[in-house]
Structure 1
Amino acid sequence: MKTTTFCLFLIFGFLGLAFISEGQSQNQPNIILLLGDDHGWDETGYNGHPYLKTPVLDELAKTGVRMNRFYSASPVCSPTRGSILTGRHPNRYGTFTPGFSIRPEEISIAQLLQSQGYATAHFGKWHVGPVKASSPTNPGALGFDEWLSHDNFFEMNPALSRNGADPEIFEGESSEILVREAKKFIKQSIAGGKPFFVVIWYGSPHEPYSGLEEDLGLYEDLPDTFATKTVRLTSNETGSPVERLQRDVLQERFAEITAMDRSIGELRGFLKEENLRSNTLFWYFGDNGTPREANATVPFREEKGSIYEGGIRVPSVLEWPNKIDESLILDVNMNSSDVFPTICDILEIPLPNRPIDGISLLPWLEGASTPRPRTMKFWNGRPQNPQTAATYIDPKLQEGTSPLVKLMNGKATRDFRNYIQTEIIPSDFLGARAIIDNQYKLVIQEDDEGRPVLELFDLSVDQSESKNIVKDYPELAQNLQEELRIWQQSVLESLIGKDYKK
């Protein structure tokens, strides 16, 4: 009898723990954000790619939320990462382009979730500052309890820093390594009775490319049409530029995407096994458009680095079974700056008292069919006189430590910078910029003589941005231009530090 009672106690105790891990608190879902590095909009099976195999992302798009008009806040990686962390356009804090760090005074979503009792962790590419312990912009300083991270991108057998320590080599396929480490952290968080916030920023599919034999074998028969073009990228052997046939490059790139897709499936399967999937918000998207060497099937204009659609349209899929019990296909405009306010809205956390460029997407996740109430704005800005400007952070603290293949000035790592700006001058408003409402997109760039060139596109019928209709709608173009200029003024006021003043 005692044995039977004890066994029943164990059984019901185990079931109770399982129930807690599944439900924890309906107001505190677990959250996992996954980010592909240079993964363009068309590079998924569900978006119609003719060769790529992405069965997990395809399944998420079929059963979860498929965001057809999702944008990265920037056409390059570091700024987009800053937008995810802060909900703010990266020019507000000087993260203009890769190699520019975030500023320590920024408020990150990890810090807010940490204050709500979440266990927080970052895995993979950081790229908004060094990951070493002394850096004031490492993941720990931005709210992550633990991190296994790299200053920049990485390939097979990556060198990663654990909680700011000297980097160590992890043998294997990098996407699999990150998921393996994330699973350990999740188990630890659940054992401690905490909801978790896990950020996985993959090193894939950023060049230089490499892949497992099993994944490379899937793409041995790419069309001969890809073998007529030579592209330039980094050599895995020398770290310097090399020219190769695009077909060979795509074989390796597609292998990386397939491996990343498989790791996403492994993590999703783990959540199901641990009774965590129902109450976990699971969100994947890319950080910018397809890079030039891989641009073979992009249906949009241009590629990474450009504010045309090819540089900023990215794949995005999400699932959260407890909240979203049927599949959704969303055609409303969304972007990476929306992550921060969306999570805050879900958890009923007040937004910080400073300009937030994103909006909450919760209404659309709950079934709203209304258009986006605010325009989206993009801007490839730049600092004033970086050769003479004072730095925002001690350059020693901005030196990277984690090695990577690609050399820059002979150095196999990356350092960061962020410049102090104290005034706003007319030239600060320059740089490629765009504003998108629910139908039209205005693009402004300067010509060789510094004169603004305006292009207006109707994205509802011209997603390839092939027909400039600015002469047909001069009043609309003027209104959008004025709105964009007002927003730029706000961004520049943030840049000179007004948001940080008490």
Structure 2
Amino acid sequence: MANRFPAALTLPCCLCFAPTLLVASAACRTSTAADPTVRPNIVLVMADDQGWGQTGYYNHPILKTPHLDAMAAGGLRFDRFYAGAPVCSPTRASVLTGRSNDRTGVESHGYALRRQETTLAQILKKAGYVTGHFGKWHLNGLRGPGVPILDSDSHHPGHFGFDHWLSVSNFFDRDPLLSRRGKFEEFQGDSSEIVVSEALEFIDRQSSSRQPFFAVIWYGTPHQPWRASDADCEPFESLNAASQQHHGELVAMDRSIGMLRQGLRESKIAEKTLVWYCSDNGGLPKIQPDTTAGLRGHKGTLFEGGLRVPAIIEWPQHVKRRVTNYPACTMDILPTLLDLLQIDPPQPSRSIDGVSLKPLFTQNLERREKPIPFRHLGRAAWIDNQYKLLTQDIGEGTFSLYDLQSDSGETHDIAADQPELAAKLQAELIAWSESVDNSVAGLDYPERSVDPSEPQPRFWREVDGYKTFFPEWKNRWEYKSQLQP
């Protein structure tokens, strides 16, 4: 593997619901670029379990993230950006489809994305993009520590539109074992720097081509178990061991963001490349200092701490540099990019839960016209600008209402104070959930049913194709817990 790790990096200066179709408005069809036919390169970057408060630009008391800070200063920083779900696989499904996770069959972590779904990679590939996936996949129905993905896997990234992929089934860490289109390769070093280095090789090959590229970089950081270098842990010696390693991984991940941004500048394609960064769910509990900057809840909950994540879009000369409080989410990624590229949705009748954020690239928008929906394991939430309706059991009928503008910590339930508003939002949420039930049943698909061959979640140690590797893997640190009594 070529050495792409730079010795030093330089920082630049610095409603009532009805299932909604992806139809761009006239305003959305106005290009943000000087050239209305521009087809930017697109890079989607996603952390694994980074909390909303874990950046320097949010004044973290210990962690320094100079490269994310520089990206935020040079781009559009979202202060109210939401993961599609409070755990990882569902959010990944929402990124690739623009749809809430339950619609796609990805009920929770370790569920497989249905092959009847149409992904962003497939759409862009058909539009002439070269596509690549690097890092965590977790959409093939496998649970347990990340393992390299088999060529025979019916749900590997290639089946969902990725021409090139260097991928692992789930979370991964230092010195990882990855799969390059089914061929296993062992790497040395920090996992974040490795996948960015590999993505940059892909980008370098495409930078001189007339074909634009679509690259997805999905980190395994800072998901546990944590293993960072001694140098990256050194600033956190006052913390407990887990928190030291956790923050050390974030230091390396931030450094890899610098690698990516510098690599785009060195290839002279930074102004031709849209980079969209976010995390896949809220921060972890039991880490010191708190990962969510005081928001209520953590990963796995539908409170703000489990859903609100850092997010930045950087596209020099095309996206106005500023901070926005406009509520946005991972379901918005697909409709935004299709609107930008003037690509019509391949299935116009299929419900899309996100909206295009393209007007936000250059305009200050105050209100979102379409609420942001969440449904995960029977719980649900509905964010309509400053208000958030929340229930721990959508079938039980108990709902809480919060005013996030005055109460971002979700400490005061105002449902009794504003019963008409609570009733309105509850009716909208229930109507939306009923439309999701139709999607769960497969009514969105031409077959009007779900392919019965879709796998159920299972641990990779139960898959015959992996068993031949068990003797070789039983002493690897990341697999010991799975393979030794």
* 1:131-159 deviation line (CA, Å, top 9, x unaligned): 32222321111100000000000110111
Residue aligning to 1:440 = 387
Residue aligning to 2:156 = 138
For residues 238-317 of structure 1, the aligned pairs below 5 Å read: 247-294=240-287, 296-297=289-290, 298=292, 299-317=294-312
Equivalent position amino acid for 2:379 in 1: A
Q: Distance in 2 between matches of 1:169 and 1:34?
A: 22
Matched, 1:485 2:430: yes
Q: Distance in 1 between matches of 2:288 and 2:396?
A: 30
How far is the alpha carbon of 1:366 from its aligned partner? 1.9
Equivalent position amino acid for 1:255 in 2: G
* 1:194-247 deviation line (CA, Å, top 9, x unaligned): 21110000010000111112111122234xxxxxxxxxxxxxxxxxxxxxxxx2
TM-score of the aligned structures, taking structure 2 as reference length: 0.81
Residue aligning to 2:397 = 452
Residue aligning to 2:415 = 470
Q: Is the 8 A contact 1:284 1:318 kept in 2?
A: yes
Equivalent position amino acid for 2:389 in 1: L
Aligned counterpart for 1:338 among listed residues 332, 342, 365: 332
Equivalent position amino acid for 1:263 in 2: S
Q: Distance in 2 between matches of 1:446 and 1:346?
A: 37
Q: Distance in 2 between matches of 1:203 and 1:309?
A: 22
How far is the alpha carbon of 1:25 from its aligned partner? 9.4
Equivalent position amino acid for 2:151 in 1: A
Q: Is the 8 A contact 2:174 2:227 kept in 1?
A: yes
User: What is the SS of the residue equivalent to 2:49?
Assistant: coil
Q: Is the 8 A contact 2:371 2:384 kept in 1?
A: yes
Equivalent position amino acid for 1:159 in 2: L
Matched, 1:364 2:311: no
Residue aligning to 1:103 = 114
How far is the alpha carbon of 1:367 from its aligned partner? 1.3
Q: Is the 8 A contact 2:380 2:393 kept in 1?
A: no
Q: Distance in 1 between matches of 2:416 and 2:106?
A: 34
Residue aligning to 1:329 = 323
How far is the alpha carbon of 1:499 from its aligned partner? 1.0
Residue aligning to 2:31 = none
Equivalent position amino acid for 1:442 in 2: L
User: What is the SS of the residue equivalent to 1:494?
Assistant: helix
How far is the alpha carbon of 1:24 from its aligned partner? 11
Against the structure 1 CA distance between its residues 476 and 289, is the aligned structure 2 distance closer, same or farther, given a 3 Å change threshold?
same
Residue aligning to 1:94 = 105
Against the structure 1 CA distance between its residues 295 and 221, is the aligned structure 2 distance closer, same or farther, given a 3 Å change threshold?
closer
Q: Distance in 1 between matches of 2:437 and 2:288?
A: 33
User: What is the SS of the residue equivalent to 2:58?
Assistant: coil
How far is the alpha carbon of 1:294 from its aligned partner? 2.3
Q: Is the 8 A contact 1:211 1:255 kept in 2?
A: yes
How far is the alpha carbon of 1:496 from its aligned partner? 0.8
Of all paired residues, the percent bearing the same amino acid is 44
Equivalent position amino acid for 1:440 in 2: Y
Q: Is the 8 A contact 1:302 1:310 kept in 2?
A: yes
How far is the alpha carbon of 1:190 from its aligned partner? 2.6
Q: Distance in 2 between matches of 1:96 and 1:344?
A: 25
Superposition RMSD on alpha carbons, in Å? 1.7
Q: Distance in 1 between matches of 2:384 and 2:270?
A: 35
Aligned counterpart for 1:179 among listed residues 171, 179, 196: 196
* 1:91-121 deviation line (CA, Å, top 9, x unaligned): 0121011111100011000011101111100
Residue aligning to 1:163 = 181
Q: Which runs of 5+ in 2 are unaligned?
A: 1-33, 143-148, 448-485
Against the structure 1 CA distance between its residues 26 and 269, is the aligned structure 2 distance closer, same or farther, given a 3 Å change threshold?
farther
Residue aligning to 2:376 = 380
Against the structure 1 CA distance between its residues 206 and 142, is the aligned structure 2 distance closer, same or farther, given a 3 Å change threshold?
same
Q: Is the 8 A contact 2:67 2:255 kept in 1?
A: yes
How far is the alpha carbon of 1:451 from its aligned partner? 3.8
Q: Is the 8 A contact 1:55 1:261 kept in 2?
A: yes
Against the structure 1 CA distance between its residues 295 and 359, is the aligned structure 2 distance closer, same or farther, given a 3 Å change threshold?
farther
Residue aligning to 2:235 = 218
User: What is the SS of the residue equivalent to 2:339?
Assistant: helix
Q: Distance in 1 between matches of 2:317 and 2:73?
A: 17
Q: Is the 8 A contact 1:24 1:195 kept in 2?
A: no
Q: Is the 8 A contact 1:295 1:303 kept in 2?
A: no
Q: Distance in 1 between matches of 2:393 and 2:87?
A: 20
Q: Is the 8 A contact 2:45 2:217 kept in 1?
A: yes
Against the structure 1 CA distance between its residues 173 and 26, is the aligned structure 2 distance closer, same or farther, given a 3 Å change threshold?
farther
TM-score of the aligned structures, taking structure 1 as reference length: 0.78
Q: Which runs of 5+ in 1 are unaligned?
A: 1-22, 223-246, 382-430
